[in-house]
């Protein structure tokens, strides 16, 4: 964001809440970001986003918006398109990158063309997924366009039939969900801040949890983060190379984070997804990765504001 104003004169609207399945996470992210921006000297207005957001922003008249929304409408290109129309600079990725990254199948198609390894998968209707196994277990059934592990169902090896939980998975407009081969092993995550790739975190979910699910992500004690990940140098290089490739292939801006599964027994590294609006809660990964690189939380959010623009 190009301006001659001092920080005290720069008015930032922190967009949070919304009405997606990740509303509570967004409120937590927004609260942390707003407090950090105020500590960095910015003038801040907290905005709990609803469908009257255009009128609200016309009243608030911010110099820029810090996008702390998560999930649909907040990170899928919708709010980004509105901000482009209103001409208000905003943080994180633009319309196209946000839309593509939120759609897991489109993301996989694009990043795979840039050498990023993906899991075998297919789009099906919930009815098809419930009628019979659409691939041999173990596999994962999940939404195509949700984040924070919302609606993920793991079908274990030996399952006689698909579980009824599949019926609860959020669907796309054309009634589709994604089914993917289950990758055993370690959960690795790596970020990009600006044009620099971060270190890697090895995420170990608490023993009572099946995988790095919503509780593991956001509940205190839900997971342990090993930073830097204790993995072979060659594997770390692959993770970082694929993370930067995915970020650039989709045209992401600001910060992003890629998640992987790594099966040590088979040396099988598989990309899961990219997140263009990573969480900014007390248990979130990007702030932890930034701190590891010597960047405080305040410096991170201030940098995101300074990077804000339109036509992203």
Tell me how crowded residue 164 is: count the other CB atoms within 10 A of its CB. 9
Residue 26 among the catalytic residues: no
Say how far apart CA 244 and CA 237 lie, in whole Å. Answer: 11
Which residue in the list 28, 98, 148, 256 is annotated as catalytic? 148
Omega cis (within 30) before 228: yes
- Burial string for 187-210 (b: 16+ CB within 10 Å, else e) reads bbbbbbbeeebbbbbbbebeeeee
Q: Spot the catalytic one: 253, 275, 288, 312.
A: 275
Q: Which of 90, 279, 288, 312 is catalytic?
A: 279
- Asked if 127 is an active-site residue, the reply is no
**139 catalytic per annotation:** no
Strand order in the sheet with 255-263: 223-226, 196-205, 186-193, 255-263, 268-275
On whether the CB atoms of residues 16 and 48 are closer than 8 A, the answer is: yes
> From the candidates 259, 261, 307, 312, which is the catalytic residue?
259
Name the catalytic one among 63, 146, 213, 273. 273
Q: Is 242 exposed, middle or buried (0-12, 13-18, 19+ CB in 10 A)?
A: buried
Q: Which of 139, 212, 218, 260 is catalytic?
A: 218
CA distance to 33, 78, 190, 261, per residue, from 268 (Å): 36, 35, 17, 8
Instruction: Look up 275 and say whether it is catalytic.
Output: yes
Catalytic residue list contains 67? no
8 A C-beta contact, residue 214 and residue 142: no
DSSP-derived secondary structure letter, 86: H
List 17, 18, 22, 32, catalytic entry: 22
Angle (deg, nearest 10), helices 233-250 and 104-112: 110
Is 257 a residue of the active site?
yes
CA distances from 38 to 35, 46, 90, 187, 299 (A): 5, 11, 17, 34, 12
Catalytic residue among 23, 46, 257, 312: 257
Identify the three-state secondary structure at position 1. Answer: coil
Residue positions annotated with a catalytic role: 22, 148, 218, 257, 259, 273, 275, 279
């Amino acid at each position: 964001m190009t301006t001659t104003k001092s920080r005290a004169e720069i008015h930032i609207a922190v967009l949070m809440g919304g009405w997606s399945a990740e509303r509570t996470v967004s409120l937590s992210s927004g609260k942390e970001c707003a407090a950090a921006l105020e500590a960095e000297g910015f003038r801040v207005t907290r905005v709990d986003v609803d469908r009257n957001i255009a009128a609200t922003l016309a009243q608030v008249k911010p110099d820029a918006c810090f996008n702390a929304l998560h999930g649909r409408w907040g990170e899928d290109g919708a709010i980004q398109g509105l901000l482009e129309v209103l001409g208000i600079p905003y943080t994180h990725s633009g319309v196209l990158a946000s839309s593509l990254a939120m759609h897991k199948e489109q993301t996989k198609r694009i990043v795979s063309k840039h050498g990023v390894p993906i899991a075998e998968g297919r789009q099906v209707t919930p009815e098809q997924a419930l009628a019979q196994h659409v691939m041999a277990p173990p596999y994962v059934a999940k939404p195509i366009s949700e984040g924070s592990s919302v609606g993920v169902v793991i079908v274990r090896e030996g399952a006689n039939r698909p579980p009824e939980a599949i019926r609860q998975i959020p669907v796309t407009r054309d009634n589709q969900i994604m089914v993917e081969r289950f990758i055993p092993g370690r959960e690795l995550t790596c970020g990009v801040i600006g044009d620099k790739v971060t270190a890697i975190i090895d995420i170990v979910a608490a023993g009572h949890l099946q995988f790095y699910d919503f509780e593991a992500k956001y509940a205190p004690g839900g997971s342990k983060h090993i930073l830097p990940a204790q993995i072979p140098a060659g594997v770390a290089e692959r993770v970082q190379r694929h993370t930067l490739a995915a970020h650039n292939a989709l045209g992401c801006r600001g910060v992003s984070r890629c998640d992987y599964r790594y099966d040590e027994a088979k040396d099988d590294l598989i990309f899961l997804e990219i997140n263009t609006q990573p969480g900014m809660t007390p248990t979130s990964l990007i702030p932890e990765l930034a701190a590891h690189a010597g960047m405080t939380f305040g410096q991170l959010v201030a940098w995101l504001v300074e990077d804000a623009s339109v036509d992203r």
